[in-house]
Structure formats: structure tokens, C-alpha cells
Structure 1
């Protein structure tokens, strides 16, 4: 494999995908979101890129493990019990698969993400 296969986030020109959480998950605001998925592995289990979120509050349910680095803005991540963690530029953390709660963007937020989704076990019949 050559050096040309390296994905440089500062130079890659990935088209943004715009989306919103499903209506039943939105708790407040209009959480418009953009994702620049700069890399997806051939097996589909690993991805990395940049996410941007507008002010809003919605329910989350993680099936993937996600490493995040907040590079701009302020968000609050809450678990189902209501315990909260405020996330600001410079914060780095991992959200494990199985986490359920809410994500609230207080100031427009931008994060670098790296996600791993475990393969579903195959069932022989």
C-alpha cells in the first residue's frame, strides 16, 4: 500500500451529509447535523470523520464504540439516570457501545470521530 492511501482530514474533500435525528428522538431545538465521513473501512465496521451539530437536544442509543474529540462548541451528554458530562473544545473521550441517554448541543459543536461497530454474530441454521 502506498502513502497515497493515507487519509489527511485537512486535505480530503468529502461531501457533507446533512441529517436530523428521527422526529421521535428530538427533545428540543432543531438539531441539524452534518457529517463528513472521511474514511470507511471495506468491511464497514470502522469509520472516521468530522461531525457538526446545531443547537438542540435528542435521544441517543449507541450500537458502535465511538472516540470523540470536541474541536468547537459545547455539548452535554447525559445517561439514562440523568448524570451529565459537559463537553468542550479539547475534550477527548470514548462512548462505549450500549450507551443510551441524550446529547444536547448548547453552542454549535464540531467533533472528530472514530467509530467501530462490532460485527453481528452469524447464526447457523
Structure 2
């Protein structure tokens, strides 16, 4: 494998995938989302890209371990026990597989993510 196999996010031009969470998961707003999937491993367990979300709140259930770096905007993650974490540009964190709660975008949010889907 050579240097040409390195994925440079700034050099990649790709079609964005636009979507909304499933209707039964949306709690408020119209949280349109866009994903730029820059890399998927051949085994399908590892991926990386850029995600953007508009204002709104929806239920989440992570089946993957995800590293996030917020590069724009403000969001609030809430768990099922009432805990909350506000994340904004400059914040870096990992959401472990099994996290359940909500994601709320307060200001248009953009994140770089790296995700690993653990197989049983």
C-alpha cells in the first residue's frame, strides 16, 4: 500500500449524505444532518468523516465507540439519568458504545469523528 492510500479530509471532494433522524427519535426541531464519510475500513468496523447538524434534539443510542472533535457550534448531550454535557468548538471527547440519551444542537454544529463498531 502506498502514499496514495492516505485519506486527506481537506483533499477529498465527495457527495454529502443528507438525512433526518427517524421521526420517532426527533424530540424537537427539524434536525437535518449531513455526513461526509471520508473513510470506511474494508472490514466495515472503522470509519471517519465530518458530520454537521442543524438545531433540534433527537434520541441517540451509540453502538460504536466514537471520538468527536467539535469544530463549530454548540450541542448538549444528555443521558437517561439527567446528566448533561455541553460541547462546543474545540472540545474533544469519546462517546463509548452503549451510550443512550439525546443529542441537542443549539447552534449549527460540525464535528470530525472517528468511529469503531465493536463486533460481538
Q: Give 1:21 shift.
A: 0.5
Q: Give 1:26 shift.
A: 0.3
| TM-score calculated relative to the size of structure 1 | 0.95
Please list, as runs of the form range in 1=range in 2, the aligned pairs for 1:57-68 lying within 5 A after superposition: 57-68=57-68
| TM-score calculated relative to the size of structure 2 | 0.99
Q: Distance in 1 between matches of 2:81 and 2:12?
A: 40
* Corresponding position of 1:20: 20
Please list, as runs of the form range in 1=range in 2, the aligned pairs for 1:40-119 lying within 5 A after superposition: 40-119=40-119
* Corresponding position of 1:30: 30
Task: Give the unaligned 5+ runs of structure 2.
Answer: none
Q: Distance in 1 between matches of 2:32 and 2:14?
A: 18
Q: Give 1:82 shift.
A: 1.4
Q: Distance in 2 between matches of 1:80 and 1:22?
A: 19
Which one has the largest radius of gyration?
1
Q: Distance in 1 between matches of 2:20 and 2:86?
A: 22
* Segments of 4+ moved more than 3 angstroms: none
What is the total number of aligned residue pairs between the two structures?
120
* Corresponding position of 2:10: 10
Task: Give the unaligned 5+ runs of structure 1.
Answer: 121-125
Q: Distance in 2 between matches of 1:112 and 1:4?
A: 22
